[in-house]
Amino acid sequence: MKRLRRWVIAGLLVWLPVAVTFLLLRFIIGLMDGTLALLPAEWQPEALFGFEVPGLGLVLTIAVLLLTGMFAANFVGRTLVGLWESLLRRIPIVRSIYGASKNFTEVVFSDTGESFKRVLLIEYPGPRIYSLAFQTATSLGEVQEKTGDEVICAFVPTTPNPTSGYIVAIPKDAAIELDMTVDEALKMIISLGVVVPEWRGSRPTELMVDGRRVAVPPDGA
């Protein structure tokens, strides 16, 4: 029975990642294929070829993104995009939703700034309970003044869906910066902590002891 159990687990380790990858790709491709509905009826794949072409919506989406990016990167495109954004920001409810999503997109996908560039380890939701977090801001204005501490803003993602989570403002000296990259941290979060990135001890680990940061050498000495 132990041997059979080992064989079953070995088979799951082979096929389960393949099945998850296939299902996710099929979902994404199916979602992108929905963009084909935006085309006129005479331009639909069924009308042109007589049958459906899976994945054509993904190609169309990528092409639209590339063309939009090329257009928005030149002077005329930037001017028109600016006018469009100015119009949206004049609409009461739309401007709040659009402004928030615009700022979030710029923070996540921009190569400049420090947002979502550092992985932190913080005591959350309680003492001696550690959670992975991403630093999002260091200048908190009113929060900085009224707390009296040098605070930073961090995003604590949920697992296995890292797109939702909590925003916390914590003292800077209470956060431990980790060596792992954002991609490695996301893999760890999505895998429920099963996939742990390898650490080579590039710098001393900092632990909180009696409210003070204490550096621990990589060899634990």
SS3 for 32? helix
pLDDT in tens, 35-83: 777 777 777 777 777 777 777 777 777 887 888 888 888 878 788 888 8
Q: Are 99 and 85 in contact (CB under 8 A)?
A: no
Pull the structure tokens for residue 138. Answer: 């260091």
Domain extents in the chain: 119-216
**Mean pLDDT computed over every residue of the chain:** 79
Amino acid at 155: F
pTM of the shown model: 0.54
| Predicted pLDDT of residue 176 | 92
Angle separating helix axes 75-88 and 92-109, nearest 10 degrees: 140
Where b means 16+ CB within 10 Å and e means fewer, 182-197 reads eebbbbbbeeeeeeee
Beta-carbon count within 10 A of 58 CB: 17
pLDDT given for residue 204 in this prediction: 54
Regions in the chain scoring below 50 on pLDDT: 220-221
3-state secondary structure of 132: strand
- How large is the C-alpha radius of gyration of the chain? 24
Burial of 45 by CB count in 10 Å (0-12 exposed, 13-18 middle, 19+ buried)? middle
